Amino acid sequence: MPAVTYEHIKTCKQTGARLGIVHTPHGSFETPAFMPVGTQATVKTMSPEELVEVGAGIILSNTYHLWLRPGHDIIQEAGGLHKFMNWDRPILTDSGGFQVFSLSEFRTIKEEGVHFRHHLNGSKLFLSPEKATEIQNALGADIMMAFDECPPYPATFEYMKASVERTSRWAERCLSAHARPADQALFGIVQGGEFEALRKQSAKDLVSLDFPGYAIGGLSVGESKEVMNEVLEFTTPLLPEDKPRYLMGVGSPRSLIDGAIRGIDMFDCVLPTRIARNGALMTSSGRINMRNAKFERDFGPIDDKCTCHVCKNYSRAYIRHLLRADETFGIRLTSYHNLHFLLNLMEEVRGAIRTDSLGDFRDEFFESYGLNKLNAKNF
């Protein structure tokens, strides 16, 4: 039995979205689920207790960052990432691949792995399927990700084909290197850009390796929402129904709903915490920027339909004051609210699947949030 399993609860009759539970060594979480991102072993500004309050069932942490600082050996000595950061619910770590391709300089991709320079101090580094797996084994997250190539967008069919084939070879090497399959589940990552033939090839390769879960990578990299939805529509059916499906790096309200409708179970994104630090807040009637002068004397909550601790206790005027005064407590409040908003949205999505009405929910949400229904599936 793999360390992580997927229990299917029901499928939304209106949309085909899946309601499920993912079981891990650190407990279970309901899906579709959004994973807050704790890059450096902390979800920026938030305490673990607050993450529980806002409803986080699982969080993501970044292998690349933890490898370089403080070092995966230190986290292993501390008793693993859960203990190090005082979070006893599930954790997923990425492979570091995305950061190698997006942050590092002078990278050279070879069959053995990727040679590159540290994005901060310029030192020479090397990451490979074996190394990424070793680091993640040391970190001890419940879910680990295979080390893949993250190709640029756009890429030619030929480039993408070679990349997909390498990613498949690397996936096999990750599986072989994985030292703790009873404690940690290694997920494969389907690549292939917007090319259906390549997504098929990638999915076929990876499914044959029998991973306990699958991610869809290479989306939300610059393509339109329509392309993303189209890729999801032809990719998710290629994945086994009895395993979790994770859409990497996606976290706008629109994409969370669009993704769930297309059979995705897990999502992650820095969006809610990143925009919160700039004062941008998600509300039931769309995004607002709390730094705006019009909120100077607005003594109401961020969102009068929201039930979170911040909306119950603090005014827009106070939060605006804190942000303008560069007070840390301001970004604590905005981060808390945005995470609550997205995690609550996922709760509502799961509720709508339960009542076979996710299509209706989407239409109502898009309307109130001010989103157009471009490329929306009809039900």
**Which one of residues 9, 52, 77, 154 is an interface residue with its own copies (CB under 8 A)?**
77
Q: Exactly one of 258, 265, 268, 303 is catalytic; which is it?
A: 268
- Smallest distance from the beta carbon of 202 to its own copies, in angstroms? 34
Q: Residue 179: helix, strand or coil by DSSP?
A: coil
Q: Is 303 a catalytic residue?
A: no
Give the C-alpha separation, 376 to 379, whole Å. Answer: 9
Q: Which one of the spans 55-63, 77-85, 103-111, 178-186 is the region binding its own copies (CB under 8 A)?
A: 77-85
* Of 64, 128, 126, nearest in space to 96 by CA: 64
Q: Is 268 a catalytic residue?
A: yes
Q: Residue 128: helix, strand or coil by DSSP?
A: coil
Q: Is the peptide bond before 154 cis (omega within 30 degrees of 0)?
A: yes
Give the C-alpha separation, 326 to 307, whole Å. Answer: 26
Our finding on whether 328 is near its own copies (CB under 8 A) is yes
**Which one of residues 233, 321, 347, 348 is an interface residue with its own copies (CB under 8 A)?**
321
Binding-site size for its own copies (CB under 8 A) equals: 36
String of contacts with its own copies for each residue 84-103, x by CB under 8 A: xxx-----------------
**Which one of residues 17, 37, 46, 232 is an interface residue with its own copies (CB under 8 A)?**
46
- Smallest distance from the beta carbon of 103 to its own copies, in angstroms? 15
Give the C-alpha separation, 122 to 207, whole Å. Answer: 38
Our finding on whether 44 is near its own copies (CB under 8 A) is yes
**Encoded amino acid at 289, one letter:** N
Cβ pair 171, 136 in contact under 8 A: no
- Please identify, using beta-carbon distances, which residue of 52 and 74 lies nearer to its own copies: 74
Tokens of 286: 């769309």
* Of 46, 27, 85, 62, nearest in space to 335 by CA: 46
Specify the residue for token string 């292939």.
192
- Please identify, using beta-carbon distances, which residue of 41 and 281 lies nearer to its own copies: 41
17 Cβ partners below 8 Å, 6+ apart? Answer: 11, 32, 260, 261, 262, 263, 349, 353, 358
Our finding on whether 197 is near its own copies (CB under 8 A) is no
- Please identify, using beta-carbon distances, which residue of 99 and 235 lies nearer to its own copies: 99
Our finding on whether 313 is near its own copies (CB under 8 A) is yes
- Please identify, using beta-carbon distances, which residue of 46 and 198 lies nearer to its own copies: 46
The response to whether 97 counts as a known ligand-binding position is yes
Our finding on whether 325 is near its own copies (CB under 8 A) is yes
Our finding on whether 123 is near its own copies (CB under 8 A) is no
Give the C-alpha separation, 64 to 72, whole Å. Answer: 10
- Smallest distance from the beta carbon of 179 to its own copies, in angstroms? 22
Give the C-alpha separation, 273 to 251, whole Å. Answer: 11
Give the C-alpha separation, 50 to 145, whole Å. Answer: 26
The response to whether 140 counts as a known ligand-binding position is no
String of contacts with its own copies for each residue 23-42, x by CB under 8 A: -----------------xxx
Our finding on whether 296 is near its own copies (CB under 8 A) is yes
Cβ pair 263, 237 in contact under 8 A: yes
Quickly count: other Cβ atoms within 10 Å of residue 285's Cβ. Answer: 12
Catalytic positions, written as ranges: 94, 268
Q: Residues within the annotated binding site for substrate?
A: 94-98, 148, 191, 218
Interface with its own copies (CB under 8 A): 40-42, 44-47, 65, 69-70, 74, 77-79, 84-86, 296-297, 299, 313-315, 317-318, 320-322, 324-325, 327-332
